[in-house]
A and B are shown apart, each in its own frame.
Chain A
Amino acid sequence: MSFLLRRSGLKGRAAAMLIAGMLLVLPLFLQPSSNPVSKVLSVSAAYAEQAADAKVEGKEGEKDGKPKFMAAPKLKEGDYPYFKTNILGLEVTPRILAWLIAQLHLWFAAFVLAVPIFVLLIEAIGIVTKNDKYDDMAHEFIKVSMTAFSITSITGGVLAMVLFNYYPDFMKYLMSIFGDTMIIYAMLFFGESGCLYIYYYGWDRMRYGTSKWVHLSLGMLLNAFGMTILFISNAWTTFMMAPSGVDGMGAFTGNIWEAIRGPLWNPINLHRFIANIAYGGSIVGAYAAYKFLAAQSKEERAHYDWMGYTSNFIAIAGLLPLPFAGYWLTAEMYAYSQQVGITLMGGLFAWLFIVQAVLIGSLFLAANYYLWCGMGRSEKPNPYFKYVKYIAFAVVVSFLVWFTPHTLIMTAKEAKIIGSHHPVVGVLGVMSAKNTAVNILIIATYLSFMLYRRGDRVPTVGWAKTGDMLQAGLLTAACINILWLGIYGYLIPANVRIGLSIPQVFTTLLFIILSVIIDGKMYKGAKAGSVIEWGKMPARSQYALFLLAVSFTWLMGLMGFCRSGIRQHWHVYTVMRDNSPDAFTPTLPYAASVVSVGTVIFMALVIFIFWLAQFSAKKQKHEAHGH
């Protein structure tokens, strides 16, 4: 490390900080060796003794000098404290209460974990480019998330109280395994809060020179704490979905690392990490849109237009790789249990994926629409605007294919006439078609972004025309490859077909990488063809940003229900049965209603946060009262 610290260049300092940050989270990914984590953490043996009450099966206490842990308790309905009340027409039970509070906590947590990630990146860009504009924007982003931090803590506290109060035996069991990680989790909050407060309140104090590097390092530390908190809580969630580190009766085998590192832990870690960035981008995008629409001056409008554009970029950057992380997670679910996979994608929950497809499709549409509107920012007309209609066509067709269901809800009479699948569009309901559609959708979105970026610049290199044709040729080849793989999928057995999604994804990524490289070289030293007038955006474009935020929120809520709901009547899948009066899988309209209520509450709180950010910036003028 010392040789890195001695280097005075930007790269050296950045590398040293990166390594320091990685070292902080590294212990989480290390295999236990001769000194297992469970020994270090000294998993509570005291609880094993306490667990010898009537509700608990299995023999506890000491055996061969080693603590033996409780088996998963078998509960009866009477073991759950219960209530039922009606609030504004919605029947509230402990499950609804826990569901709504947990969802609110997750929405805010996702937001506050994401914002410091891109704030750090924007701050670093500000340092490298020596442009204060980036620094100011990063500061404003973190300011918006400050109130959200408090709300995250409050909802987290309330959630813990609700769970301990209404699901005491389940929490006891979970604590018997993860109790020590919960203590670490709580301690990490102190670290995160400390870093956050110094990072935010010390922003102007540590703005230049070496202080700025200290500030940036604090930002990195803040993110390391945040990520570790996320990964720890993910372990509890994934344990409930796919338990590991326990025997057939649910008794803990004593190695906490085995319990943490279940089959779904890393897929969820990655999926939530990427999704949080996309989600955080969409929420700050809504903030920028709110401020844009409320702006009084041209300068203010220009600033918030730029902020909205950056937020949309962050949201898209997160959204593009998200389906692939989702595929990995789902593949691991299938690998863990075919039954879980089929319940998820082939049973009741499959319809949620249709809703998901509609929402993700609308996210892509909104993000693209915003970029197309952005082409109007140029002083001169964007020469690539003529291609928008073709991109729009590709986006809409892909969108339609993506949400075409495999089976239809039909009456017996209708089914008799056309069969179980629609004779024409039924073929579009399978994954071969959907994988193809989503890859084309991603490429189309990338093209929107690329053409937008090109609009105000003119390349000066002699091979610009060749570069254009090269990119167009690669685009055609990529689309042909994706399409033929999609069609080929219909002709081969399912076990081989599943594998085709990997080359399809790879084609998309390779095309984007090659195109970015060619474009970067072509536009190196390009001259300005037009001037971008920030703030020259129609108001309707800002509603696309609102749509992004609301769709993301609703989507997270619905698919969160889906992820949790596939456990069906189990607290911990196949290990601890849920015997509470609410242990039934709700109908989809019922679940959608609960999630919609949650979305409305969340959005109301977000509007409060936006208002507060604006309110705190105002200063009251002193007036003489005349007495």
Chain B
Amino acid sequence: MNWGSYLGAIVGGLVIFFVFDVLLMKAQGLSLFVK
């Protein structure tokens, strides 16, 4: 089993998805981080 690829994909995937979360909320005029 290639666990390095698995963990790398999780971390990489989470970073990519999170960046898009922030950008897509911004595109709607909203902020992901509610104070």
Chain A interfacial positions (CB closer than 8 Å to B): 465-466, 468-474, 476-478, 480-481, 485, 491-493, 495-496, 499-500, 502-503, 506-507, 510-511
Q: Are A499 and B21 in contact (CB under 8 A)?
A: no
A473: contacting residue among B5, B25, B27, B30, CB under 8 A: B5
A500 and B30 alpha carbons, distance in the complex (Å): 10
Q: Are B2 and A477 in contact (CB under 8 A)?
A: no
A491 and B33 alpha carbons, distance in the complex (Å): 11
Q: Are B9 and A470 in contact (CB under 8 A)?
A: yes
Q: Are B28 and A502 in contact (CB under 8 A)?
A: yes
Convert B1-35 into 0s and 1s, putting 1 for each residue whose CB lies closer than 8 angstroms to a CB of A: 11101111111111011101100110110110010
A538 and B4 alpha carbons, distance in the complex (Å): 41
A–B complex contacts, Cβ < 8 Å, 11 sampled: A468-B2, A469-B9, A474-B9, A481-B13, A496-B31, A502-B28, A503-B17, A506-B20, A510-B16, A510-B20, A511-B13
Q: Are B2 and A465 in contact (CB under 8 A)?
A: yes
A500 and B8 alpha carbons, distance in the complex (Å): 26
A480 and B10 alpha carbons, distance in the complex (Å): 9
| Chain A residues in 8 Å Cβ range of B34 | 491-493, 496
| Chain A residues in 8 Å Cβ range of B3 | 469
| Chain B residues in 8 Å Cβ range of A491 | 34
Q: Are A481 and B5 in contact (CB under 8 A)?
A: no
A492 and B35 alpha carbons, distance in the complex (Å): 9
A477: contacting residue among B5, B13, B27, B28, CB under 8 A: B13
State how many angstroms separate the Cβ of A601 from the closest Cβ of chain B: 44
A377 and B34 alpha carbons, distance in the complex (Å): 51
State how many angstroms separate the Cβ of A439 from the closest Cβ of chain B: 12
Q: Are B7 and A477 in contact (CB under 8 A)?
A: no
State how many angstroms separate the Cβ of A484 from the closest Cβ of chain B: 9
| Chain A residues in 8 Å Cβ range of B25 | 496, 499-500, 502-503
> How many Cβ-Cβ contacts under 8 Å join chain A to chain B?
82
- Among A469, A473, A499, A500, find the residue whose CB has the most chain B CB atoms closer than 10 A: A473
A516 and B7 alpha carbons, distance in the complex (Å): 20
State how many angstroms separate the Cβ of A191 from the closest Cβ of chain B: 40
| Chain A residues in 8 Å Cβ range of B16 | 477, 510
| Chain A residues in 8 Å Cβ range of B11 | 477
Q: Are B14 and A480 in contact (CB under 8 A)?
A: yes
Q: A472-B6, A496-B30, A496-B34 are in contact. Are A503 and B20 (CB under 8 A)?
A: yes
- Among B12, B14, B27, find the residue whose CB has the most chain A CB atoms closer than 10 A: B14
Q: Are A478 and B1 in contact (CB under 8 A)?
A: no
| Chain A residues in 8 Å Cβ range of B12 | 473, 477
Ranked 4 nearest A-B pairs via Cβ: A473-B9, A477-B13, A469-B5, A481-B17
| Chain B residues in 8 Å Cβ range of A469 | 1-3, 5-6, 9
Q: Which residue of B lies closest to A505 (CB)?
A: B24
| Chain A residues in 8 Å Cβ range of B5 | 466, 469-470, 473
| Chain B residues in 8 Å Cβ range of A503 | 17, 20-21, 24-25
A485 and B34 alpha carbons, distance in the complex (Å): 13
B21: contacting residue among A465, A472, A473, A481, CB under 8 A: A481
Q: Are A477 and B17 in contact (CB under 8 A)?
A: yes
Q: Are B9 and A477 in contact (CB under 8 A)?
A: yes
A476 and B8 alpha carbons, distance in the complex (Å): 11
| Chain A residues in 8 Å Cβ range of B6 | 469-470, 472-473, 476
B17: contacting residue among A468, A472, A478, A499, CB under 8 A: A478
| Chain A residues in 8 Å Cβ range of B24 | 499, 502-503, 506
A469 and B3 alpha carbons, distance in the complex (Å): 7
Q: Are B10 and A466 in contact (CB under 8 A)?
A: no
Apart from A470-B9, A506-B24, what 8 extra A-B contacts exist at CB < 8 Å?
A: A466-B5, A468-B2, A474-B9, A474-B13, A481-B21, A496-B31, A499-B24, A503-B25
| Chain B residues in 8 Å Cβ range of A466 | 2, 5
A511 and B9 alpha carbons, distance in the complex (Å): 11
Q: Which residue of B lies closest to A482 (CB)?
A: B17
Q: A465-B2, A496-B34 are in contact. Are A472 and B20 (CB under 8 A)?
A: no
